[in-house]
A and B are shown apart, each in its own frame.
Chain A
Amino acid sequence: MNNSFEIAKETSWCPGCGDHNILKALKDVLNELDLKPHQVAICSGIGQAAKLPHYINSNGFNGLHGRVLPAAAALKIVNSDLKVIINTGEGDAYGEGGNHFIHNIRRNIDMTHFVHNNQVYGLTKGQASPTSQLGMVTGVQTKGVLVEPLNPVSLAISLGASFVARSFSGDEKHLKFIMKEALNHRGYALVDILQPCISFNKINTFKYYKDRVYEIEIHDVSDKAAAFNLSLEWGDKIPIGIFYKEEKPIYHDRLKWLSKKESLVDKKLDPLKAEQFVKDFM
């Protein structure tokens, strides 16, 4: 099938990097969901994963490191006809952008967030990331990582995110399934995608993940406490799948004064509408 999201563009990713699989899965899924490139905006910050918008035919936003969430949120607020997808690395999402991650979950804007989590910084060549495991030795963390890793799945569930999932770049079928579920979710959906970095992470390799990940089977996705408990499992066994899912009002539902029919950008602008406020000053 001809995929309109395809673009002839050489990537700057290493051969064998998990990013390639994520890009391919995303193009396939968007096409399978019958979306058109002009209906989609793929937004990122800075990092290796964040280069993805350049490698896919759609609207794109390649912003500043850590700052994509507020930009994507406002894009969706004003231009709500667009399918807004955020595609970043874990440094972008949980490190530099940590504060925005927290507060964006509270907004529950209808957009999907794919995080390429390879537990290491790639673009800056191998320093620890917020999810690097304790003790991992790098050029900067010469005595090993001294701080505990951040658990994005637990964090998102605890903050009230309406869709929280994890997948693995090495399992195409699972990844595409989770991506579709996330894209079809109404509200903010986070998918943390485990992804090996073949150049800088010699611990969390393809084999490391392959040996550990297992698909969540018997679990009530509406049970927040159970979801949180499950999210704490990390070690010899790493669960992948949907941890938590909830239908709740999205940000736009709370803006009761906005038209439900037209996007804010289609609103006719009329200076005379503000003239009524002159009476406040007389």
Chain B
Amino acid sequence: MEYNVLLGAEAGQGANTIETIFSKTLLRMGYNIFSNKDYMSRVRGGHNFDQIRFSKSKVHTHSDKLDIIAAFSKETVELHKNRLKPNGLIICSSKFNITGENIIAFPFEELSKEFGNPKAMNMIILGIIFKLFDIPMEIAKEVLRENTSEKFIESNLNALRQGRKMVEVKYRLMEKNNENMLINGNKAIALGALAAGCTFYSAYPMAPSTGIMNYMAEKQEVMGIVVEQAEDEISAINMVVGASFGGARAMTATSGGGYCLMAETIGFLGVSETPAVIVNVQRPGPATGLPTRTAQADLKFAVNISQDEFPKMIIAPRDAADAFYQTIRAFDIAEKYQIPVTILSDQYLADASKTVKVFDFENIKIDRHIETHYSDDKYKRHEYTETGISPRIIPGKSGDQVYILDSHEHDEYGHIVEDKATRIKMMQKRMNKIEALKVELQEPWVIGKENSDILLISWGSSYGAIKETVEKFNEEGVFVTALVFGDMWPLPKNLLEKYIPKAKKIISIECNYSGQLADIIQEQLCFKIENRINRYDGRTWSIEELYDELREVIYE
């Protein structure tokens, strides 16, 4: 059995607070959760909503069908009532003058006044939800205490109790403890960076990436690291270059506009063979676009960022757990190959919380791939080697050796050159690292029945919707295989070469206008992908939406 609750409110009404308390309570009761946010780029007002889907089985994405709508605003009811299941409920203020069998209406505004806090409304509503699901007060109290500032705990608990008195139990949930955690993509990336030994983080605030900076900053004191808010994204990425040259593991995160500003410096990282991890939490563009919405539309930009050519890697995490482990891997690959690694996340992944197995910290290995050079020969930072990877030292930490890092074309020591022979050798040295990098590549995840006639191709956070939709088709006896890419560049090709010849129909699914991954596959494998499901409205698919769209393409 699964349930789906929507909390709709204006910004500032406290819906996010009750989302956190509700989700964490469910987590402690042993539920799998997927909760996502849909919010406008404003601090007060507007229409925002949280959807919390939970089940004893695994959940990977959001769903359209709702059991409960908790409406802080009348607009919430109007926008979402058509999504209610037949016996679903709407909780709203009696002020909205909405009546019906499935309406639970109370004068919340007046009731809140009794608690001396107009915002107590959210706690009364949470109390109602808790009672409907028969959630034990002990767990609810414990979570509320941990997530509420001291001075509001008592009044919030009273408001919660008040809510519980107002309705009867409707659903019965069973208790169970487990070893799961609930985390969103932004925090998973930040936690991954902390685990990987990132000691320097610099960024400029930009939705939807700011959550990464917030989490890193919250932990900087305990971890003994530096989080610096830069004056702009150009500064942020150049700080990362300086910190990495200085010997630290360094990261920055931004979204489309900031990633544009970083373009030149990412080329500098390439030519100077400086490791760095750059997170682009994608939102729809161009320019300011839709600041708080989602997209997978920066893939081609990331592949081609900065002028000329240099080795780089691009990884698109598929869910919160993948985001954590891939961030750690990004730091390792960046230092091993001395290249910039871009993590292409997106707003949906960044803000959606998902139940995942508690992260495994025991098996994280940090290898800095840093050497010391104490010989009398002058150290060559860009020494020609077979793989193209040269020994890297930290300035001031390798006896009396020195070296220069340069954004110009340079010789093995890092000094400016303009001669043809050195240019050719250096270009080849750097580009050779792409060959070396190929041993690291991870093939896409395979979902569904192997070798079906229908092959879906997608990447990144579209994984959740595809996973559940494919399972639904397979249950119905329609066999579908999906390849969901995480490593985007260099493109892993083994599974594509294996599955493409066997498939009768190939369909790409991407949150962008043209099908950017499909284009890259076409170019790299000389194979035409004609069926493309794309959306570019700033949202991503629910199971139902993707199921319907796929049915149309499969049976056309």
Contact surface of A with B, Cβ cutoff 8 Å? 9, 36-39, 41, 43, 46, 51, 53-54, 57-64, 67-79, 81-82, 99-100, 102-103, 255, 257-259, 264-267, 269-278, 280-282
Does B416 sit within 8 A of A, measured CB to CB?
yes
Are A59 and B396 in contact, CB atoms less than 8 angstroms apart?
yes
Q: What residues on A are CB-neighbors of B187 within 8 Å?
A: 280-281
| Chain B residue at minimum C-beta to C-beta distance from A266 | B397
Point out the residue from A60, A77, A264, A272 that lies within 8 Å of B405, measured CB to CB.
A60
| Chain B residue at minimum C-beta to C-beta distance from A281 | B181
Complex: A88 Cα to B200 Cα, angstroms = 25
Point out the residue from B191, B202, B232, B364 that lies within 8 Å of A99, measured CB to CB.
B232
Q: What residues on B are CB-neighbors of A264 within 8 Å?
A: 199-200, 225-226, 248
Given the known interface contacts A51-B416, A59-B403, A63-B407, the answer about A71 and B239 at a Cβ–Cβ threshold of 8 Å is: yes
Does B246 sit within 8 A of A, measured CB to CB?
yes
A contacts with B: majority SS: helix
| Chain A residue at minimum C-beta to C-beta distance from B202 | A74
Q: What residues on A are CB-neighbors of B24 within 8 Å?
A: 282
Complex: A74 Cα to B265 Cα, angstroms = 15
Point out the residue from A63, A79, A270, A277 that lies within 8 Å of B191, measured CB to CB.
A277
Complex: A69 Cα to B231 Cα, angstroms = 11
Does B243 sit within 8 A of A, measured CB to CB?
yes
The count of chain B contact residues (Cβ–Cβ below 8 Å) is 72
Are A64 and B195 in contact, CB atoms less than 8 angstroms apart?
no
Q: What residues on A are CB-neighbors of B328 within 8 Å?
A: 271
Given the known interface contacts A77-B243, A79-B395, A267-B224, the answer about A64 and B250 at a Cβ–Cβ threshold of 8 Å is: no
Point out the residue from B183, B220, B399, B416 that lies within 8 Å of A281, measured CB to CB.
B183
Does B240 sit within 8 A of A, measured CB to CB?
yes
Given the known interface contacts A67-B238, A78-B246, A273-B223, the answer about A62 and B394 at a Cβ–Cβ threshold of 8 Å is: no
| Chain B residue at minimum C-beta to C-beta distance from A60 | B404
Complex: A77 Cα to B183 Cα, angstroms = 31
Does B329 sit within 8 A of A, measured CB to CB?
no
> Min CB distance, B239 to chain A, in Å?
4
Q: What residues on B are CB-neighbors of A259 within 8 Å?
A: 224
Complex: A59 Cα to B395 Cα, angstroms = 7
Are A64 and B264 in contact, CB atoms less than 8 angstroms apart?
yes
Does B235 sit within 8 A of A, measured CB to CB?
yes
Q: What residues on A are CB-neighbors of B361 within 8 Å?
A: 271-272, 274-275, 278
A-B contact pairs, 29 of them (CB 8 A): A38-B398, A41-B395, A43-B242, A46-B407, A59-B396, A59-B402, A61-B242, A62-B404, A62-B405, A64-B238, A71-B238, A74-B202, A75-B243, A76-B246, A78-B242, A78-B243, A78-B250, A257-B221, A264-B225, A265-B246, A269-B368, A271-B366, A274-B219, A274-B361, A277-B194, A278-B359, A280-B187, A281-B183, A282-B181
Point out the residue from B221, B235, B405 that lies within 8 Å of A103, measured CB to CB.
B235
Q: What 5 pairs across the A-B complex have the smallest Cβ distances?
A: A269-B197, A60-B404, A71-B242, A74-B242, A79-B246
> Min CB distance, A99 to chain B, in Å?
6
Complex: A126 Cα to B234 Cα, angstroms = 27
> Min CB distance, A106 to chain B, in Å?
9
Point out the residue from A38, A70, A78 that lies within 8 Å of B226, measured CB to CB.
A78
How many A-B pairs with Cβ below 8 Å?
198
Complex: A92 Cα to B154 Cα, angstroms = 58
Q: A70-B238, A258-B224, A269-B197 are in contact. List 20 more A-B contacts (CB 8 A).
A: A9-B415, A59-B396, A59-B402, A60-B405, A60-B406, A61-B242, A62-B405, A63-B241, A63-B268, A64-B265, A74-B240, A74-B246, A77-B243, A81-B396, A82-B246, A103-B235, A257-B220, A265-B246, A275-B359, A282-B24
Does B362 sit within 8 A of A, measured CB to CB?
yes
> Min CB distance, A254 to chain B, in Å?
11
Given the known interface contacts A64-B268, A70-B230, A81-B396, the answer about A278 and B402 at a Cβ–Cβ threshold of 8 Å is: no
Are A265 and B247 in contact, CB atoms less than 8 angstroms apart?
yes
Q: What residues on A are CB-neighbors of B220 within 8 Å?
A: 257
Complex: A58 Cα to B395 Cα, angstroms = 10
Q: What residues on A are CB-neighbors of B395 within 8 Å?
A: 38, 41, 59, 79, 82
| Chain B residue at minimum C-beta to C-beta distance from A53 | B404
Are A265 and B195 in contact, CB atoms less than 8 angstroms apart?
no
Q: What residues on B are CB-neighbors of A73 within 8 Å?
A: 239, 242
Does B442 sit within 8 A of A, measured CB to CB?
no
Q: What residues on A are CB-neighbors of B405 within 8 Å?
A: 60-63
Does B400 sit within 8 A of A, measured CB to CB?
yes
CB neighbors of A among B385-402 (8 A): 394-402
Are A74 and B200 in contact, CB atoms less than 8 angstroms apart?
yes
Q: What residues on A are CB-neighbors of B241 within 8 Å?
A: 63, 71, 74
Q: What residues on A are CB-neighbors of B195 within 8 Å?
A: 271, 274-275
Q: What residues on B are CB-neighbors of A60 within 8 Å?
A: 402-406, 414
Does B443 sit within 8 A of A, measured CB to CB?
no
